[in-house]
Structure 1
Amino acid sequence: MPNRLARAALRTACLAAGMAVAPQAGAQAPGTPDPGVRTLRPVTISAKANSDPVEKSYRKMIRGMDLFEREKSLAPNASLRFKLLPRRRETDMNAIAMEVIGTTVDFPVAIAPDQTFSLPRDTKAFAEDAQVIPNRKAQSMTWRTEIRTPGLPPGTRRLGDLRLECRVGMEAGLVSRSGGVVDRIAGAVFDTPAYCDKKVPLYLFFSERPLFSVTLTAGARREVLPLVMLYAAASDDPKLDKDLPDCDCEVLVDRTYFLPLGDRSWPDDTLVEFDYMEGG
């Protein structure tokens, strides 16, 4: 049973976090325009040079920002930023350039040294369903939200912040969907932000450093997360080497954890405490 649970959880996480899109039968030949797909105007060298961009919908990301404002009670003192994370060992996360590109609008987005960014609101980009495009190849990076309440003790996060991270991430479309077969379990991940209300949704969070353990603390109540909720639930997976390449946790698996987001016996002010591995 542990093996089966670990493999099911990892496969769900991998599908949810972004599998490579399978080539479709009957696909058009290269260079043939598809009448059903609008081509974005190539306005910069970086946009034209990247033929396989790891892009997201500007409109969906703005809707995620709107959800953050509506549900601010989960994290009343926090701010929202988006974060880029490496998916491959060879991915260069330094000096990433990012643009929002629509049919008639384009503008750059500044990336901070910690690979986080905020997205400016632009009515024309929203109307044109522009794309948010960094100059990196598809499958080289993954995306998450970062919602942090200031003033927390070092090595901790607040559960309400992370609940809202999941909900905004789902609404913003940051969890990529496979173009191939998605099983019924993984399919639930792609429904709505309501998926985050499940007792233990298989939504991958990433810590700052490799993890030894994660503990929830609310007043006198203290509980260490079971091992199956760490490392993408893959600690007992005999085929881990085959599963990881399909997961956006591939190079960060030692930093991943799930949380009981839908277990309301843990209040939003619950502290999530990280015990990191010494020396990584």
Structure 2
Amino acid sequence: MRAALLGLILLTAYGAPAARADEPVPSVHVAGIADPEMRSYRSVAAGLDAFDANRALAPDATLRFRMRHADGAPANAGDGLRLRLASDDGAFQENVPIDATGLLTVQRSQAAYDADATFILNRKNGLYTGHPEVRTAVLPDNVRRLGDLRLECRVTIAIVKEQMPFLAKAAINTLMMTSDWCAKKDFNYGVMAAQAGTRAVLRAGERSRTLETHGWNVLAPIGDPAWPDDALVEMGDGGT
């Protein structure tokens, strides 16, 4: 069965009042772009292009994709996932390795692009999703750099836009009053945590802010220019 490599994206924006440093960030869900499916290699290629074009946000980071259960729990070696790229006519076939932590790397492939290949997972649709993950390697697993998340958002949105009808994109551009959704002030990006209900704090020097959590998603204020790219999201072991 074909895999959906991109599950629920928590995107929040516009109209949220400013929060004090010790208050959670208010959020507004943007309707119409939840649960987009990232099946085609061409969609992923748009994300790779966005990663290359915005490297200044995270010059020392790498891009991979993390497989998760539909409820948000990370996949692991025990899930036995196998992924491949294949064209509809079967002329193009290529395995995509998934490591023991559920991470995979998508390589540039002109052959896959020309063949309009799709990702095929050895599981029924809807059981697993995949999410872009941009990380600066020197940071601990429970710490995310805000610039990395800004770049991750651009990768995610590039993939989403590649799949959306023109009128849907135009409507959201109008709602957001910009085509650069990730840069919209008061825009919060849903960061997938290692555990549901994780407590998270954003820090930059002496400043800090407790972040709002929804299930597996920690809402990071990537659209707020007052927080620098080197600000860090520190996630605890659970419990908000």
TM normalised by structure 2 equals: 0.73
Task: Note the alpha carbon deviations across 1:101-122, whole angstroms, 9 max, x for none.
Answer: 1132111111111111111222
1:95 partner amino acid = G
Identify if the C-alpha distance between structure 1 residues 153 and 143 changes in structure 2 by more than 3 Å, giving closer, same or farther.
Answer: closer
Deviation of 1:212 after TM superposition, in Å, equals 4.4
CA distance in 2: counterparts of 1:112 and 1:212, whole angstroms: 24
- 1 or 2, which has the higher helix percentage? 1
Q: Which of residues 193, 199, 222 in structure 2 aligns to 1:207?
A: 193
Identify if the C-alpha distance between structure 1 residues 111 and 186 changes in structure 2 by more than 3 Å, giving closer, same or farther.
Answer: farther
Q: Which of residues 34, 59, 67 in structure 2 aligns to 1:84?
A: 67
Alignment of 1:68-107 (within 5 A): 68-88=51-71, 94-102=79-87, 103=89, 104-107=91-94
Determine the structure 2 residue equivalent to 1:241. Answer: none
Gaps of 5+ in 2: 1-15, 17-26
Deviation of 1:197 after TM superposition, in Å, equals 1.1
Alignment of 1:45-194 (within 5 A): 56-88=39-71, 94-102=79-87, 103=89, 104-153=91-140, 155-173=142-160, 194=180
- 1 or 2, which has the higher strand percentage? 2
Q: Once the two structures are aligned, what percentage of the paired residues are identical?
A: 30
Residues 97, 109 of structure 1: 8 Å contact kept: yes
Moved over 3 A (4+): 88-93, 173-178, 184-189, 200-203
| SS in structure 2 at match of 1:171 | helix
1:218 partner amino acid = A
Residues 68, 75 of structure 2: 8 Å contact kept: no
CA distance in 1: counterparts of 2:49 and 2:70, whole angstroms: 27
Deviation of 1:88 after TM superposition, in Å, equals 4.5
Determine the structure 1 residue equivalent to 2:231. Answer: 270
Q: Which of residues 222, 225, 230 in structure 2 aligns to 1:261?
A: 222
2:39 partner amino acid = K
Deviation of 1:149 after TM superposition, in Å, equals 0.6
Gaps of 5+ in 1: 20-53, 232-252
CA distance in 1: counterparts of 2:102 and 2:75, whole angstroms: 11
CA distance in 1: counterparts of 2:51 and 2:223, whole angstroms: 18
Task: Note the alpha carbon deviations across 1:244-277, whole angstroms, 9 max, x for none.
Answer: xxxxxxxxx2x21221111111010001111222
Determine the structure 1 residue equivalent to 2:35. Answer: 18
Deviation of 1:86 after TM superposition, in Å, equals 0.8
Number of residues paired by the alignment?
208
Residues 200, 234 of structure 2: 8 Å contact kept: yes
| SS in structure 2 at match of 1:267 | coil
Identify if the C-alpha distance between structure 1 residues 128 and 101 changes in structure 2 by more than 3 Å, giving closer, same or farther.
Answer: same
Identify if the C-alpha distance between structure 1 residues 155 and 219 changes in structure 2 by more than 3 Å, giving closer, same or farther.
Answer: same
Structure of greater Rg: 1
Deviation of 1:129 after TM superposition, in Å, equals 1.7
Task: Note the alpha carbon deviations across 1:76-123, whole angstroms, 9 max, x for none.
Answer: 111110111111599986111111111321111111111111112221
